[in-house]
Amino acid sequence: MTSVSEEPERGGERERDPERGAYGGEAAGAGGAGSAAGASPLPEELRALGRSLDPAGAAGSESMVERVLAQILAERIPAPVAEPPRAGAGERLRTARRWTRARWRSLTATLCGLLALLALTPPVRAAVLDWFDFGGVEVRYDPSAVPSAGAEVPGCGRSLSFAQAERRAGFAPLVPRTLGVPDAVTVTDEPRGRSLMSLCWHERGRVIRLDEFAASLDVTFTKTVREQPEWVELGTEPSATGMSDPALWFPRPHVLSFWLVGADGDRYTHEERTAGPTLLWTHDGAGGEDVTLRLEGVASRSRAMDIAKSVGAWPPVSSEKSPN
């Protein structure tokens, strides 16, 4: 992780330091690059845990064979017959999924009457996850989606205090230390009672905007791209799975769709705008939930990555300079 641990921990509400306190693997800081992939004892511990679940003695399998065969005979279950390859397991699964999805859709629409919800379970999501899994963001490929020229990063509007923002969003803001205290913090309501937190900085007449939301939730943003974004790595230490803090860099302007809650607090409007170069990644939130972050308004990939690497819980410094 980053070398931010010299920052004093303020405000006793944070009971653990997310930068330290981890066990083995990536956080065994002293080991540095030496404690590389595979050296982490955690997977071994977990395998041992799994083996400890096995019942003692192998007698179980014989009695299981008897029980299963007895039931198959008793219920006169016919011998399975291979089905034609076209209706293979995968095909059937897909058919079933399509059917369920279609049904689920109409059910939801009936129950909620909300078109918004339909778009939250887009059929392309499964394919999208194939190469991209940051909860809450969907990336669609559509060469015909031409972004409009000269778009600007929208500002955040009137600012809340950090404490207000945290209360409304349900998680503490994550702040990149390289950008420092934001000029504004706002929280926008999203469908299904969740919230989007936005932090804005003004820099030479331009806006740098950082959107944050709980990653475990459904699609919040849809990015429609004409060319695939690039994978970049924010981490330096190889992890057990060979990927170290993956992030996605969208070098070109693209169409971004998102939801806004209406004035009655009950209806959602689908908004679309052109987003500039964007970096997308996830970070461990203080509450244990992953938070997805999208940084917009920084045109340089390396600077965007530096900003992303410096993200941490706030406040690392004195709280007297609060945005308000």
Partner 1 sequence: MIARVRAGEPEAYAELVRVHTGIALRAAAALGAGADAEDVVQQAFVKAYCALGRFQDGASFKPWLLSIVANETRNTVRTAARQRTLAGREAAFAEAEPLIPESADPAVATLETERREALLAALEKLSEEHRLVVTYRYLLEMDESETAQALGWPRGTVKSRLNRALRRLSRLLPDFQPREGGDERE
Question: Which secondary-structure segment (H or E) carries 233?
Answer: strand 230-233
Closer Cβ to partner 1, 88 or 180, answer by number: 88
Closer Cβ to partner 1, 61 or 300, answer by number: 61
Restricting to residues 176-215, name those near partner 1 by CB under 8 A. none
Contact 172, 259 (CB under 8 A): no
Restricting to residues 68-97, name those near partner 1 by CB under 8 A. 68-69, 71-73, 75, 77, 79-83, 85, 87-90, 92-93
CA distance 278 to 159: 23
Closer Cβ to partner 1, 92 or 167, answer by number: 92
Closer Cβ to partner 1, 42 or 317, answer by number: 42
| Residue in this structure with the two tokens 């080991």, named with its chain if needed | 31
**Sequence-ordered list of residues with C-beta below 8 angstroms from that of 146, at least 6 positions apart, any chain:** 226, 255
**Sequence-ordered list of residues with C-beta below 8 angstroms from that of 141, at least 6 positions apart, any chain:** 224, 225, 226, 228
Closer Cβ to partner 1, 99 or 131, answer by number: 131
Binding mask 135-174 for partner 1 (x = CB under 8 A): ----------------------------------------
- 24 belongs to the binding site for partner 1 (CB under 8 A): yes
280 class by beta-carbon count within 10 Å (0-12 exposed, 13-18 middle, 19+ buried): buried
Count of residues that bind partner 1 according to CB under 8 A? 73
State in angstroms the smallest separation of the CB of 68 from partner 1. 4
DSSP for 90-121, written as a single string? HHHHHHHHHHHHHHHHHHHHHHH--HHHHHHS
CA distance 227 to 244: 24
CA distance 102 to 126: 15
CA distance 284 to 245: 11
Binding mask 247-286 for partner 1 (x = CB under 8 A): -----------------------------------x-x--
Restricting to residues 94-133, name those near partner 1 by CB under 8 A. 126, 129-133
State in angstroms the smallest separation of the CB of 165 from partner 1. 23
Pairing of strands 278-284, 221-225: unpaired
State in angstroms the smallest separation of the CB of 280 from partner 1. 13
Closer Cβ to partner 1, 64 or 109, answer by number: 64
- 230 belongs to the binding site for partner 1 (CB under 8 A): no
Restricting to residues 32-61, name those near partner 1 by CB under 8 A. 39-56, 58, 60-61
Candidate ranges 17-25, 256-264, 273-281, 296-304; the one touching partner 1 (CB under 8 A)? 17-25
Closer Cβ to partner 1, 71 or 106, answer by number: 71
Closer Cβ to partner 1, 212 or 323, answer by number: 212
CA distance 86 to 294: 42
